[in-house]
Amino acid sequence: MALTLPQNLLNALAERLGEHFSTAQAVREHHGRDESLYDPVLPDAVAYARSVEDVSAILQLCHAHRVPVIPYGSGSSLEGHLLAVHGGISLDVSLMDQVLSFQPEDLSITVQPGITRKALNEYLRASGLFFPIDPGADASIGGMCATRASGTNAVRYGTMRENVLGLNAVLADGRVLRSGSKAKKSSAGYDLARLFIGSEGTLGVISEVTLKLHPQPEAISAAVCSFPSVASAVQTVIETIQMGVAVARAELVDTLAIQALNRYAKLTLREAPTLFLEFHGSAASVAEQVGIVEELASANEGQGFEWATQQEERNRLWSARHNALYAFLQLKPGCRALSTDVCVPLSRLAECVVGAEQDLRKSYLPAPIFGHVGDGNFHVCLLLDPDSPEELAEAERLNHAIVHRALAAGGTCTGEHGVGLHKIDFLLEEHGEVAIDTMRAIKHALDPLGLMNPGKIFRRKGSETSTFA
């Protein structure tokens, strides 16, 4: 594909960035795909920023030449966020991966957006503190802010929304916006930091983040427990939360998911709907939590409680859970995955999970159920042949049924993956035209030329529907 960028823009970016600016095919291909079902869509060029000054300069140049910009962190998004559907520059912040300041006495740390969650926790390892948001993938902190990520620990520690104290972002015209502070609370004006959390790169490029940290727990205990049905497993989680047990992780995997994990990770778990649980706290509080949950599970016909208190055992268990997608893909060689991402009120969780299970039993597509049921978020991994229009249509039919049931229950179409390209129409159904028009107004105020990650979250009125075709 011939590049369409103005030559004077290419020259200016090359002069500014040197070897950190590329139009090479391989580099563009790497930045033109994510973990979604979409086919690659390549940017016209890739610009690697090493500082906030680089980000500002890149955006100023692109703004002057009216060229779109797609922020890029680690490439782990699931909804087509990184695809250059309108061409333009992929702005890669992965080289901005430094800790800028660490305030252990304040339980906070300020970092650049390219640092990944694993690298951050490795930095914190000797401090007695950790950052708990764990989406599974080794995502960048900037990308986790942009998609309002959560993950397995959200039931106890919250999502990115609750764990960001403040952030800086570079606007479409290159100006640097500073928002929030290192204080635990503030009533000073609009909460602009929260506006950028979940903005998916459509309002600007996050360039600095101050995060809330948590003390490493004195004691950690993990467990697996199997159940006769998905409904009884989910009911155990609901009762656990309603009892006020501060469980740190509560993950559901159904029978098909367990079969895949056993095969992939060489585990020997009982092939039945299973909960993966983890408890954090003092030794006494963890023992108390464990006793309550064992009683609740037993009352719901849970069996085979297996405890893992050693770090190596826990790591093996959670590594298998985090690698679930790769395990699922082996259930159908050559397939690709469409993952649903609904989140519902706890009181409606069992109804929605069982409803999804019933839908799947009537379909020919293999589709494991798994998810962070402790906070009402669950996924169905629909495995399909990417070259089969019939299988794609069937996957979309199932996805629509799952989302519509969640919305009817007062839930959301996306608990953690974000909207990107795929959930645009669901967002309109969830929030209504007035809310979407308000989002468009905010977008226009901060990005009047529509250059920041265009085509994501919502479309301009009258544009075509987004599909995987």
Contact 342, 411 (CB under 8 A): yes
pTM of the predicted protein model:
0.93
Exposed (0-12), middle (13-18) or buried (19+): which is 139, by Cβ within 10 Å?
A: buried
What is the token pair recorded at 273?
Answer: 């709907």
Strands, E assignment, 181-284: 204-212, 214-215, 219-226, 247-253, 274-281
Q: Note the pLDDT of residue 462.
A: 55
Return the CATH fold of 332-420. Alpha-Beta Plaits (3.30.70)
* Domain 99-215 identical in fold to domain 218-325: no
CATH class of 99-215: alpha beta
Q: What is the mean pLDDT of the chain?
A: 93
Distance CA 385, CA 252 (A): 26
Domain limits, the chain: 99-215, 218-325, 332-420
DSSP state of 347: G
Exposed (0-12), middle (13-18) or buried (19+): which is 157, by Cβ within 10 Å?
A: buried
DSSP state of 335: -
Q: What is the pLDDT of residues 400-420, one digit of tens each?
A: 999 999 999 999 999 999 999
Distance CA 113, CA 354 (A): 39
Exposed (0-12), middle (13-18) or buried (19+): which is 462, by Cβ within 10 Å?
A: exposed
Distance CA 468, CA 20 (A): 32
CATH number for the domain formed by residue range(s) 218-325: 3.30.70.2190
Q: Note the pLDDT of residue 430.
A: 97
Q: Note the pLDDT of residue 467.
A: 42
What is the token pair recorded at 155?
Answer: 């039931």
Q: What is the pLDDT of residues 150-198, one digit of tens each?
A: 989 999 999 999 999 999 999 999 999 999 887 788 899 999 999 999 9
Taking only the tens of pLDDT, the chain with its 469 residues reads 445 799 999 999 999 999 999 999 999 999 999 989 899 999 999 999 999 999 999 999 999 999 999 999 999 999 999 999 999 999 999 999 999 999 999 999 999 999 999 999 999 999 999 999 999 889 999 999 999 999 899 999 999 999 999 999 999 999 999 998 877 888 999 999 999 999 999 999 999 999 999 999 999 999 999 999 999 999 999 999 999 998 999 999 999 999 999 999 998 899 999 999 999 999 999 999 999 999 999 999 999 888 877 788 888 888 888 889 899 999 999 999 999 999 999 999 999 999 999 999 999 999 999 999 999 999 999 999 999 999 999 999 999 999 999 999 999 999 999 999 999 999 999 999 999 999 999 999 999 999 999 999 988 765 544 444 3
Three-state DSSP class for residue 165: strand
